[in-house]
Amino acid sequence: MIKYLKYLLQTALFLLLFFAFYQVLFLLFNRSYADGAPFGVLARSLWVGLRLNLSMSSYVLLLVGVIQTIGLLLTGRFSYKLSKVTTLFFVVVFSGILLGNINLYAYWGRLLDAEGFA
């Protein structure tokens, strides 16, 4: 059990770094919108985004935990493979959405929302 909790902590840290990397990539790709903004303001945006990163990471970990609980009830043991596949699925989906968001912001001037999927 301790080993699995350690795995979840490592996954949480990975997801936080994943979302922080996206933020930096977004700022670099769309730097023309931030012309003249001091470095401190841009750095603070990463700090403000940390709450959102924690939130999204928690949602993913909650779903991984629920899926792991279902797997535990069905098989009677923890499955790291199931957790890794679930996490990989979310990373791939988020990568596609976030990379699309970076590119679309240059054209729309705003972030991707439900209207973009309509």
pLDDT in tens, 89-107: 999 999 988 888 777 766 6
Predicted pLDDT at 90:
92
Q: Is the pLDDT of residue 85 over 80?
A: yes
What are the DSSP calls for 11-71, one per residue? Answer: HHHHHHHHHHHHHHHHHHHTGGGGTT--HHHHHHHHHHHHHHHHHHHHHHHHHHHHHHHHH
pLDDT digits (tens, 9 = 90+) for 23-79: 888 888 877 777 777 888 888 888 888 999 999 999 999 998 898 888 888 888 878
Query: How confident is the prediction for the chain on average, in pLDDT?
Result: 84
Query: What is the rounded CA–CA span in Å between residue 107 and residue 36?
Result: 20
